[in-house]
């Protein structure tokens, strides 16, 4: 008899505390909500995990559940029942809405057209590097030309103009354009041969200011070049 009385007394105490918590939650007491969270958050989380099978989603559901409970706090009815069923009901609705939103999001993603394949820029980068090297070589070649030759070469070769159109653009005769283009191509061909030959041409000559090649006579094999002063001294010594 004593145990039954003690049990009833304990239940009555818990109910009175719960009723007090209900009143405080209904009144919007922050401390009451803190207590409600501490006592029932783990229960709500376990319920969400079982319904979704997703721990991360369950964390979100717990947060949304207590936010919704705060919004619906005035709907808490007075009485001596536990707030646990009320929270689990809110958690169930939140889980249902979350799953519905996830399905809508997935359906929207399916309707979105697939993205275009990302192109491989390796060939483009290689091509641009090659273009840069070719441009540098072309600039080097153009620097060896006279201005008129350089202008004609640029218009006719790079821009693709014919001789008549280039002549009209430069204000010169068509024959002048053709002559300059011929000289420019010869210079370019010679520079190419020098580049391929490691910087040495097919002869030992040098080009003077007039564009003519002056051939330098090579020294006889085994003969060292001597100056005029040394040659004169050698002649005087022989006479002695």
Task: Answer for the pair 58, 64: CB distance below 8 angstroms, yes or no.
Answer: no
Task: Answer for the pair 119, 161: CB distance below 8 angstroms, yes or no.
Answer: no
The rounded percent of the chain whose pLDDT value lies above 90 is: 13
**pLDDT score of 61:** 92
**pLDDT score of 17:** 47
Q: Which whole number is the average pLDDT over 155-162?
A: 79
- Same domain membership, residue 94 and residue 142: no
Query: Comparing 61-65, 88-92, 103-107, 214-218, which segment has the lowest mean pLDDT?
Result: 214-218
- Same domain membership, residue 137 and residue 106: no
**pLDDT score of 110:** 80
For residue 32, tell me if it sits in a domain. Answer: yes
- Same domain membership, residue 96 and residue 23: yes
For residue 233, tell me if it sits in a domain. Answer: no
Give Cα 88 to chain centroid, integer Å: 47
For residue 236, tell me if it sits in a domain. Answer: no
Indicate the average pLDDT of the chain. 72
Residue 65 structural domain: 2-111
Q: Which whole number is the average pLDDT over 216-232?
A: 44
Give Cα 40 to chain centroid, integer Å: 47
Query: Domain boundary at 60, 79, 111, which?
Result: 111
- Same domain membership, residue 99 and residue 35: yes
Q: Give me the CATH number covering residue 139.
A: 1.10.10.10
Task: Answer for the pair 167, 181: CB distance below 8 angstroms, yes or no.
Answer: no
Neighbour count for residue 166 (Cβ, 10 Å): 24
Task: Answer for the pair 75, 10: CB distance below 8 angstroms, yes or no.
Answer: no
Residue 168: pLDDT above 70?
yes
Task: Answer for the pair 152, 181: CB distance below 8 angstroms, yes or no.
Answer: yes
Residue 13: pLDDT above 80?
no
**pLDDT score of 155:** 80
- The total number of structural domains in the chain stands at 2
Dihedral in degrees, nearest 10, Cα atoms 186, 192, 193, 194: 110
| pLDDT, tens only, 176-208 | 999 998 998 888 788 777 766 655 444 444 444
Q: Give me the CATH number covering residue 49.
A: 1.10.1740.10
For residue 232, tell me if it sits in a domain. Answer: no
- Same domain membership, residue 141 and residue 184: yes
Neighbour count for residue 97 (Cβ, 10 Å): 13
| pLDDT, tens only, 139-154 | 677 777 788 887 888 7
SS3 state at 22? helix
| pLDDT, tens only, 19-58 | 578 888 888 888 988 999 999 999 899 888 888 888 888 9
């Amino acid at each position: 008899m004593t145990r039954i009385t003690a049990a009833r007394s304990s239940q009555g105490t818990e109910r009175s505390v719960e009723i007090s918590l209900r009143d405080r939650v209904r009144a919007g007491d922050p401390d009451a909500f803190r207590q409600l969270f501490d006592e029932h958050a783990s229960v709500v989380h376990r319920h969400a995990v079982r319904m979704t099978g997703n721990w991360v989603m369950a964390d979100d559901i717990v947060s949304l559940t207590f936010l919704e409970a705060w919004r619906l706090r005035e709907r808490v009815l007075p009485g001596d029942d536990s707030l646990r069923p009320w929270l689990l009901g809110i958690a169930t609705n939140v889980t249902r809405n979350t799953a519905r939103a996830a399905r809508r999001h997935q359906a929207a993603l399916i309707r979105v057209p697939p993205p275009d394949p990302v192109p491989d820029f390796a060939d483009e980068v290689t091509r641009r590097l090659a273009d840069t090297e070719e441009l540098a070589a072309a600039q080097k070649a153009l620097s060896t030309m006279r201005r008129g030759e350089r202008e004609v070469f640029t218009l006719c070769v790079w821009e693709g103009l014919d001789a008549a159109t280039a002549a009209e653009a430069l204000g010169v005769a068509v024959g002048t354009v053709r002559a300059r283009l011929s000289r420019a191509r010869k210079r370019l061909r010679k520079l190419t041969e020098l580049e391929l030959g490691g910087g040495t041409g097919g002869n030992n000559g040098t080009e003077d200011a007039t564009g003519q090649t002056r051939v330098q006579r090579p020294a006889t094999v085994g003969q060292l070049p001597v100056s005029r002063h040394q040659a004169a001294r050698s002649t005087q010594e022989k006479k002695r």
